[in-house]
Amino acid sequence: AQSVTQLGSHVSVSEGALVLLRCNYSSSVPPYLFWYVQYPNQGLQLLLKYTTGATLVKGINGFEAEFKKSETSFHLTKPSAHMSDAAEYFCAVSPNDYKLSFGAGTTVTVRA
């Protein structure tokens, strides 16, 4: 069985500051890892994913994440927050099959 833990249900950052969203997973096999973003009243949009290869993954809107197997982590970062980054972010894993298991989500607010 696999699970995903997102540390912090709510993160508040100043515009221009670093955004760091934490995700840890438990899986019996190396998983495929995803970060999705959800804007209000919209579906989920893929930010980035790790499947194989380079462990530092770059995504859309300036986000990136690093897969650290030894730490079972896949934290999401963005060097400089923008007001448009205010949304809910979900980490998800797909260990060896098709269905995604999601974390509880982290809501990001950006202060002007």
Partner 1 sequence: GAGVSQSPSNKVTEKGKDVELRCDPISGHTALYWYRQSLGQGLEFLIYFQGNSAPDKSGLPSDRFSAERTGGSVSTLTIQRTQQEDSAVYLCASSFGGPQETQYFGPGTRLLVL
- Choices 19-27, 54-62, 68-76, 89-97; region in contact with partner 1 by CB under 8 A: 89-97
36 is a site residue for partner 1 (CB under 8 A): yes
Q: Which residues pair with 93 in a beta bridge?
A: 33, 101
Report the residue number, 43 or 54, with the smaller CB distance to partner 1: 43
d(CA 18, CA 11) in angstroms, rounded, equals 11
CA distance linking residue 74 with residue 111, whole number of Å: 25
CA 96, 98, 102, 107 torsion-angle sign: positive
Q: Which stretch binds partner 1 (CB under 8 A): 12-20, 53-61, 69-77, 96-104?
A: 96-104
Please identify which residue in 12, 51, 80, 109 interacts with partner 1, judged by CB under 8 A.
51
Q: Which of 42, 53, 54, 112 binds partner 1 (CB under 8 A)?
A: 42
